[in-house]
Structure 1
Amino acid sequence: MRARSTRLAGVALAAGLGIASLAACSSGADASSGSTSGGNAGSGGKKIALLLPESKTTRYETFDRPLFEAAVKASCADCTVLYSNADQDAGKQQQQAEAALTQGANVLVLDPVDGKAAASVVASAKGSGIPVVAYDRFIQGADYYVSFDNATVGKIQAQTLVDLVKKGGKTSGDLVMINGSPTDPNAADFKAGAHSVLDGSGFKIAAEYDTPDWSPDKAQQWMEGQVSAVKGNLVGVYAANDGTAGGAIAALKGGGVNPLPPVTGQDSELAAIQRILAGDQAMTIYKPIKPEAEAAAKAAIALANKQTPQKTSDFKSIAATILDPIAVTKDKIKDTVVKDGIYKTADICSGAVAAACTSAGIS
């Protein structure tokens, strides 16, 4: 999320993590996936459980899962991925983790629904001698952590918001904050990073909300209840991700707010990129998922083979790969999500945003 080219650095880091683990895996059958996958019997390959938290945020099924599976297959052809999605249910995720251990998983790659509740999953795995990679969201006690600099995410969102509000000629006024899920440890980091900028910005935080389950619907309902109170003096909306941003924007439009104030976001979802082009959303955060998924796969393979994965840093005393996020405004779309092939231009530039794509140099 900093103004340097982190995509290439992230890929290099991910590649570096695989050097030791490549030799440990023999070639064989292709990696498979599925919540009940039994693995490649007799191949000697390791079983790697990938446990993702939910599907409301489009990134997990669209990017994280296929990119992780491809990275495992590329580095360890006879490894098997045991995949599960918890649908935002911490209890369900714990059951999925237990099922993976029963199926003989050699390592868990866990993106927790609830960071605190996930500590029991880590304890259960370690009791069976199975290491855990905390993926995208931190878990105390994990053996390795792969994510982005989450406090910096909040700082970049907030600083971009303040800069855009001031660019629009405002030096005072009300902001509202729509934070992420209170059970997501990353959300607390985003929130803290944002407050470190907004609290001293000269603008007033008139209302603030922690969104259960990152639900766009709940964010919209809350924002609908705030519109009448802040409508006359609202200058900006801090939304922690693109889903909550979409909910906020729908509420503002429904409440007759025109023009819309700048609204932040995160995850570079396709709908958010289109809203930015249309002028409804001010920015999003691009977190290149490919290097994150690749780094997690390399670390998981190394740990499954009882090797020590390479690290870029330590995070709360846990070996980690920490990548940098990138702010995306309209003028940055072409050089980020388009350049990296995250979306096809035909998918972005459809319907009402076609003309905006042309003016932004996207074709």
Structure 2
Amino acid sequence: MKKSSLITMTAFAAVAVLGLSGCAAESAPAGSTRACVILPDADSGTRWEPGDRPALEKGLAEAGFEADIQNAQNDPAKYATISDAQLTKGCGVMLLVDLQGAGVAVAEKAKAAGVPVIAYDRPIAGADYYVSFDNETVGALQGQMIVDGLAAAGKDIKTASIIYGSGDPTDGNAKMFLDGALGVLDAAGAKAAFTMEGTWDGAKAGTLFEQAFTAVKGKVDAVLAPNDNNAASIIQVLDKNGLTVPVSGQDASIAGLQNVLLGKQYGTVYKPFTLEVAKALEVIKAIFAGETYPTTKSNDGVPFVTIDPISITADTVKDVVAAGDATVEALCTAEVAAACEKYGVK
């Protein structure tokens, strides 16, 4: 599979999405420039608090909008309580990251109050827009990691023992990730030796993988892991059993990038949250201006503003550093220093 370059990424971010799908979204209530944001938790993918929150706060402030950004701390009931308080105070737009389906009811309340809703990163039925990376492409890149990793190891994918993992089934993105991966794996003739229960919880993923490892009697040739957090726990089990096999990932986290450099994880899908924030801000500005933001596709009837993800392998970890989304100091610890030198991470 061709590797995306940072030049391609930057060019894509600069090009306006053309065309229009779906019907026109609502405009913000007259006179309101308050953006209400609900983040789902403080740990999934380790991105919301250290990444999206400050970027959204900065972008909204620079655009002259008031921001109310809160975190539901992985509690759907708290998610509902936060939304009620925000809507009571008044919102010109709501940007919601869904949490176990809680976003659907909040979107309904917001729409009833005339407040447009942007589903951010995860789909929400009934939203006016869905802003996210192209999730089936994310999955396809993960599936390709398994195909390429097995080929590099000289193993026949049609007879390989592959453990399939996936994200939490209550997260609408998880199915799209898995569908994208299966599209590639099925076409290559791969079959699952064992399919794990879906989760985003790293510790739980480790336990589930222990069970899968026992079920296949320790014969594992590759693992389809939905993100770096899951992959890290799976790799711990593989390490304990003296195995190194192709493992996929997602998020380009520090731990994930380190595992990629060390050869313990074949690759990770890089989704620069800065691109997602920038695109969401464009949509918010359009809504406050009473305009309809152009889209090229829809997701279950919701106009979908897509962003291209990037596949990262050991050879391209340096690109994530060059983009400012990882530092040499964080990546190149004593254990990883030799690998950083080998792959030009500096």
Q: Which residue of 1 aligns with 2:118?
A: 133
Give the Cα–Cα distance (whole angstroms) in 2 for the partners of residues 231 and 284 of structure 1. 27
Partner of 2:243: 259
Question: 1:302 Cα deviation (Å)?
Answer: 2.5
2:23 matched residue in structure 1: none
Which string of whole-angstrom CA distances, capped at 9 and with x for unpartnered residues, describes residues 299-348 of structure 1? 1232234332233443333323201111101001112x112111121221
Shift of 1:153: 1.0
Residues in 2 aligned to 1:229 and 1:135: alpha-carbon distance in whole angstroms:
38
Partner of 2:335: helix, strand, or coil?
A: helix
Distance 1:305 1:209 in 2: 46
For 2:280, the equivalent position in structure 1 comes to: 296
Shift of 1:232: 4.2
Cα distance change on mapping 1:204 and 1:316 into 2, 3 Å: closer
The question of whether the paired residues in 2 share the 8 Å contact of 1:7 and 1:291 is answered with no
1:63 and 2:51 correspond: yes
Aligned residues of 2:213 and 2:219 also touching (Cα < 8 A): no
The aligned residue for residue 50 of structure 1 is 37
Corresponding position: 1:12 with 2:14 = yes
1:163 equivalenced with 2:148 (yes/no)? yes
Quote the Cα distance in structure 1 between the aligned partners of 2:218 and 2:303. Answer: 48
**TM-score normalized by the length of structure 2:** 0.89
Report what 1:147 is aligned to: 132
Structure 1: stretches of 5+ with no match in the other structure: 17-43
**Aligned to 1:198, what secondary structure does the other structure show?**
helix
State the match for 1:178 in structure 2.
165
Q: How does 1:97-246 map to 2 (within 5 A)?
A: 97-115=83-101, 117-171=102-156, 172-212=159-199, 214-246=200-232
**Conserved 8 A contact 1:283-1:329:** yes
Q: With structure 1 as the length reference, what TM-score do the two structures score?
A: 0.85
Q: CA deviation at 1:15?
A: 10
Structure 2 residue identity aligned to 1:210: E
Q: Which residue number corresponds to residue 334 of structure 1?
A: 318
Read off the aligned partner of 2:283 and give its amino acid letter. A
How big is the shift at 1:231?
A: 4.8
Match of 2:252 in 1: 268
- Equivalent pair of 1:174/1:234 in contact (CA under 8 Å): yes
Structure 2: distance between partners of 1:305 and 1:338:
36
What displacement does 1:125 show? 0.3
Distance between the aligned counterparts of 1:235 and 1:122, measured in 2?
Answer: 43
Identity of aligned residues (%): 38
Q: Which residue of 2 aligns with 1:309?
A: 293
Q: For 2:36 and 2:161, locate their aligned partners in 1 and report how far apart those are by CA, in whole Å.
A: 45
Confirm whether residue 324 of structure 1 aligns to residue 308 of structure 2.
Answer: yes
Deviation at 1:210, TM superposition (A): 3.2
Q: In the TM superposition, what is the alpha-carbon distance from 1:13 to its structure 2 partner?
A: 4.2
- What is the CA distance between 1:194 and its match in structure 2? 1.2
Deviations 1:75-125 (A, max 9, x none): x22x1111111122222212211111112111100010124x422111100
Secondary structure of residue in 1 paired with 2:247: coil
Equivalent residue in structure 2 for 1:82, among 58, 68, 90: 68
Distance in 2 (alpha carbons) for counterparts of 1:165 and 1:175? 10
CA deviation map 1:240-285 (0-9, x unaligned)? 011111111122223x1x2311111001111111111122211100
User: Aligned to 2:196, what secondary structure does the other structure show?
Assistant: strand
Q: Name the residue aligned to 2:26.
A: none
**Secondary structure of the residue that 1:351 maps to in structure 2?**
coil
Distance change (3 Å), C-alpha of 1:324 and 1:306: same
The answer to whether the Cα contact below 8 Å between 1:2 and 1:324 also exists between their aligned partners in 2 is no
Instruction: Give the 3 Å change call, closer, same or farther, for CA 347–15 of structure 1 in structure 2.
Output: farther
Aligned length: 330
CA contact (8 A) 1:14 1:291 kept: no
Alpha-carbon shift at residue 73 of structure 1 (Å): 2.2
Which residue identity does 1:9 align to in structure 2?
Answer: A
**Aligned equivalents of 1:119, 1:362: Cα separation in 2:** 43
1:14–1:99 distance in 2 versus 1, CA, 3 Å:
farther
Query: Helix, strand or coil for the counterpart of 1:207?
Result: strand
Cα distance in 2 between the residues matched to 1:322 and 1:148: 5
Mark the CA change 1:2 to 1:151 in structure 2 (over 3 Å): closer, same or farther: farther
2:25: which partner in 1? none
Structure 2 runs not aligned, ≥5 long = 19-30
Contact persistence 1:211–1:218 (CA under 8 A): no
Corresponding residue SS for 1:179: coil
- Whole-Å separation in 2 of the counterparts to 1:227 and 1:198: 20
